[in-house]
Amino acid sequence: MTKLRVIFLASSFLIAIIGFFWLNHPDFSLSFSSKQFLPVAPGFQITGISEKGNVWLDNDETHPVNIKTLNFVSETQLRSDDQTAWEFFFEGFLFTALPGSAIHYTPQTRELILEKGEFYWDKKLAAQKVEISLFKAGNIFRLSASGRIRLGFSSIEIWNFSGQLDFDYNGKFFQLKGLQYLDTKNGNKIPPANLFPAPPFVSPQAETIALTLANDTIIQFKWKNVQGARNYLLKIYPSAMRDNLLLSKVVASNSIVLDIMSFIEYSELYWEVAAFDTANQIESAPAKMGVIKISSSLLKKGLLPQPPQIEVDSLSVSGNMVLIKGRTDQNAQLSIDGVAVQLASEGKFIHTISYRSIGVKSIVFRAVAPSGLESVFLKQVTIFDE
């Protein structure tokens, strides 16, 4: 009891100290980066750089950034090469800068300018509205809770995921609510488009796999449907910073089976999915990233995905009817003469074809593997006039 009382009193005292400090330093906040717990004071701080390439302090690409020794004491321009993504905190917001992005930061005035590239932002523990600039000072951008922005040569694309957002750009005022998309090349003529919410559930969300057989690389990605959405855009990256897009695929359902064989050089794969407007080519808000960690692999290096095998065990003709029995890879998509065929366990199938005329008929079998590789197999039968 005495120990518990001491612990309780110590905890109460610590909470009181933190509360007193917070009241007297309201601008101080604690935030989280994607890799570690970091105390983030107001201002600017780089928290992560992807493995490939560099973030540079100069246009000549002679002075790479070193996070451990970097101090912002004067105006600084930062730019990454076409392979490198990076993360930074600014006034309690976590930004992810995609490859080829550039910013300008002035510590004396705490002014941040996004100069080019593509950025995601997410509010962590900021206490109030935060303003940045786009391209140059004067194009004031008031950050919402979370979103995405792409700076083009003469326009800006904005995906506002959450919260109120407004900004001034070239003398025009724009305003977006949560889950709205805007492309400024349309000016104020076209109102913002509505975005679908993020899929509420994804799988695998966090999974570790050991690759011992070729089929171990076949993964089913699935998510809950978003009401009103017909198509989804699935993306796979080697890191949570989205530094190297490995796969981008439009899916017309809420699941897909993929072969990740070609990605096994990476120890981790990050994936996200969002509802997708195919007519206007607009992505909606992405779901929380899922991650697949590859703990070990006994697969031979250089082993490539193989097309699925098609085996026809029997092909029986009775009048104008043909009964086909066979098997293929259980994860493949099979069609016979352009008609999708449902596979049973172990990839077995039974299919019938009815013909209206006699003569020699060619039957085309097509199987497509999750890797995208396909096999085409041709069989011929003769239909006689009974």
Considering the domain architecture, whether residues 318 and 377 belong to the same structural domain is answered as yes
User: Do 187 and 263 share a structural domain?
Assistant: no
Q: Are residues 104 and 6 in the same domain?
A: yes
- 369: domain range? 310-383
Q: Is residue 224 part of a domain?
A: yes
Asked whether the predicted pLDDT for residue 219 surpasses 60, the reply is yes
**CATH number, domain containing residue 321:** 2.60.40.10
Mean pLDDT value across residues 126-142: 89
Contact between 315 and 356 under an 8 Å Cβ cutoff? The reply is no
CA distance 291 to 237: 9
Give the strand pairing for 37-40 and 29-32.
Answer: antiparallel
pLDDT of residue 99: 94
102 and 146 co-located in one domain: yes
- The pair of three-digit structure tokens given for residue 246, joined into one six-digit string: 């490995």
Helix (H) or strand (E) holding 218: strand 218-223
User: Which two structure tokens, joined as six digits, stand for 371?
Assistant: 């890797």
Same domain as 253, residue 136: no
Which of 171, 194, 217 is at the close of a domain? 194
DSSP 317-341: EETTEEEEEEEE-TTSEEEETTEEE
**Inter-CA distances, 315 with 308, 323, 337, 345, Å:** 20, 6, 15, 20
| Token digits of residue 359 | 């003569």
**Residues 331 and 361 grouped into a single domain:** yes
Please give the DSSP secondary-structure letter assigned to residue 347.
Answer: G
User: What mean pLDDT is predicted for residues 341-346?
Assistant: 90
Do residue 288 and residue 331 come from a single domain?
no
| Domains held by the chain: number | 3
Give the pLDDT confidence score for residue 182 in this predicted structure. Answer: 94
Boundary of a domain, candidates 263, 297, 331 = 297
How far is it, in rounded angstroms, from Cα 105 to Cα 159? 23
- HSE value, Cβ hemisphere, 13 Å, CA-based, for 226: 22
Residues 296-331 pLDDT 10s: 776 666 666 778 899 999 989 988 899 999 999 988
Per the model's pLDDT, the better-predicted residue between 279 and 21 turns out to be 279
Q: Which of 167, 194, 221 is the C-terminal boundary of a domain?
A: 194
Q: Which of 53-62, 212-221, 321-330, 366-375 has the highest mean pLDDT?
A: 321-330
Asked if residue 305 is part of any domain, the answer here is no
pTM over cut 0.85: no
Residue 114 counted as domain residue: yes
Domain match, 289 and 326 both: no
Supply 91's token pair. 């006034």
Residues 96, 137 share a domain: yes
Q: Within this chain, do residues 351 and 239 fall inside the same structural domain, yes or no? A: no
* 104 lies in the same domain as 159: yes
Cα distance between residue 274 and residue 254, in whole Å: 10
Residue 12 confidence class, pLDDT cut points 50, 70, 90: low
